[in-house]
A and B are shown apart, each in its own frame.
Chain A
């Protein structure tokens, strides 16, 4: 490894509720190097979003530590930006697109003209040069999420956190946005942590895929993604290496072991499955798959 570790998560535990409470995360240990794009996948309710919120300093862990650039995270760090899944709620409907993007800059940029210039630049980067005067609700869902990405980029972050950023847009838009993120990362030096429940997406955009166990979340596997650099929605996804990896991630997410001899794998004994939760999860994932298949079919 030539790059230095920028983010070190050690034994991160987070419980909700009084007493021992409901355990959302149970001893997550993870190191992210400068410039990496790490995908985090796991079944619903595995604490993916909680993990991201701990890294962002939005909630405090119950145990363990998050260290960014050698300093423990106890509040939202500078030069960190977040893209939330629910763009329609995370953008402010009373502000124009430009003012939404420029809003976080007020703290660091006293000049209004300068803030507007940065905002317009960020909007151009995400392919929305002519929307500055519009309101978010006048745009389509995919465009709103581009605005949210522009708002994050305008802060010039070194660490970008994305919480299921493309979970609420249609399949075609999702692919466009995935490519946008890859392009942005190529042009700007950024480390990206992206939570997703889409297995294809986790492999397609990631340098590494972290698979979490169903709640409480633990790291089940940490898989390097060795796919050639300019990724392409068609040609990358037909590579045998891609298909192999997505199948493996899919198995791991569903709670099966990776293929024997593979890297990663579960480093802890599997707990006896709770039949109710297990069935619920299988059903959830079946539904997710059917839905995305239907979405894709309707696109064609």
Chain B
């Protein structure tokens, strides 16, 4: 068996597979287009109109601004910035506290009921509290995102840090690794797979929380824009915002996956080999 033709055949199969999957999406959009045109309702504009509106609204700017319009810079970028800030706080707090709590079984035991309770609390219900604390604006929105996204990261990291293989810990002791190295070379890497499992959940949550917090009261952002679109009864604009959020969600997931892929190469490899 020579490898190259077989690989090429497999490559074609993969390409065909990918094309096939995108074909389903294209067909669905096509059907939507036909249906919406026939319906002719202003509540359900056809996808072509939505895309045209998205282009006008956000992506028809000057080349010097990467084709972003003033509206995109004024609303989309602040929203992304809030997501980034909220997630950064959640990662820092959840990661550090998670490792610390996970490695001290007594503390983890005492805190468990509290953490489970806090996690079950829907973060959006705290928006009124955060509005009272921070007033309307970026701080309130970042606080909402951070508070909502910290739990998956924290709880997964606690679990990961708690379940570091005892034999690996014993190996570290047998080779007299000092505490700092036990942390840097064993506990943190061993916790990473669970940390990323939490981060994946948090990234999806962050988008929801961003929109909700901005709907509740904001002077800019995608949620603010959605509010504007809705109150001016411009349904094409509302739909354009919805599609934009879907695209942002996908982009954030891809970004998270790329980081995870890079950081956890060993994990995929090691898992692939273990029966």
| Interface, chain A (partner B; CB < 8 A) | 56, 58, 76, 78, 81-82, 84, 86, 88-90, 92-95, 103-104, 106-107, 135-138, 151, 155
B267's contact among A89, A90, A93, by CB below 8 Å, is which? A93
Q: Assess the B274–A76 pair: CB atoms within 8 A.
A: no
Q: Contacts of B176 on A, CB cut-off 8 Å?
A: 76, 78, 104, 107
Q: Assess the A58–B269 pair: CB atoms within 8 A.
A: no
Q: Contacts of B269 on A, CB cut-off 8 Å?
A: 93, 135, 137-138
Q: Contacts of B165 on A, CB cut-off 8 Å?
A: 89
Chain B facing A: main interface SS: helix
Q: Assess the A95–B177 pair: CB atoms within 8 A.
A: no
Q: Contacts of A155 on B, CB cut-off 8 Å?
A: 175
Q: Assess the B174–A135 pair: CB atoms within 8 A.
A: no
What is the bound-complex CA distance between A28 and B161, given in angstroms? 37
Q: Assess the A106–B181 pair: CB atoms within 8 A.
A: yes
Q: Assess the B175–A81 pair: CB atoms within 8 A.
A: yes
Answer whether A95 and B185 are a contact pair too, CB < 8 Å, given A76-B176, A82-B174: yes
B175's contact among A86, A103, A135, by CB below 8 Å, is which? A103
Q: Assess the A58–B174 pair: CB atoms within 8 A.
A: yes
Q: Assess the B274–A92 pair: CB atoms within 8 A.
A: no
B189's contact among A58, A82, A86, A92, by CB below 8 Å, is which? A92
What is the bound-complex CA distance between A138 and B265, given in angstroms? 12
Closest residue to B266 on the A side, CB-wise? Answer: A94
Q: Assess the B185–A137 pair: CB atoms within 8 A.
A: no
Shortest A226–chain B CB gap in Å is 33
Cβ of B93 within 8 Å of any chain A Cβ, yes or no, is no
Q: Contacts of A84 on B, CB cut-off 8 Å?
A: 167, 170-171, 174
Cβ of B122 within 8 Å of any chain A Cβ, yes or no, is no
Name B188-242 residues within 8 Å CB distance of A.
Answer: 189-190, 192
Q: Contacts of B170 on A, CB cut-off 8 Å?
A: 58, 84
Q: Assess the A76–B168 pair: CB atoms within 8 A.
A: no
Answer whether A137 and B177 are a contact pair too, CB < 8 Å, given A86-B167, A92-B168, A92-B189: no
Q: List 12 A-B contacts (CB under 8 A).
A: A58-B170, A76-B176, A81-B174, A84-B167, A84-B174, A89-B167, A93-B267, A93-B270, A95-B189, A137-B266, A137-B269, A138-B269
Q: Assess the B173–A58 pair: CB atoms within 8 A.
A: yes
A103's contact among B177, B192, B273, by CB below 8 Å, is which? B177
What is the bound-complex CA distance between A1 and B174, given in angstroms? 31
| Residue among A56, A137, A155 with the highest chain B CB neighbour number at 10 A | A137
What is the bound-complex CA distance between A78 and B174, given in angstroms? 10
Q: Assess the B167–A90 pair: CB atoms within 8 A.
A: yes
Q: Assess the B178–A90 pair: CB atoms within 8 A.
A: no
What is the bound-complex CA distance between A155 and B173, given in angstroms? 14
What is the bound-complex CA distance between A93 and B164, given in angstroms? 13
Shortest A67–chain B CB gap in Å is 19
Name B9-40 residues within 8 Å CB distance of A.
Answer: none
Cβ of B96 within 8 Å of any chain A Cβ, yes or no, is no
Name the 10 nearest CB pairs between A and B, nearest first: A104-B175, A93-B270, A94-B189, A137-B270, A82-B174, A94-B266, A137-B273, A90-B171, A89-B167, A93-B266
Closest residue to B192 on the A side, CB-wise? Answer: A94
With A137-B269, A138-B273 given, can you name 6 additional A-B contacts, CB distance below 8 Å? A84-B171, A89-B165, A93-B267, A107-B177, A135-B266, A135-B269
Q: Contacts of B181 on A, CB cut-off 8 Å?
A: 103, 106
What is the bound-complex CA distance between A224 and B57, given in angstroms? 89
Shortest B87–chain A CB gap in Å is 24
A92's contact among B174, B178, B186, B192, by CB below 8 Å, is which? B186
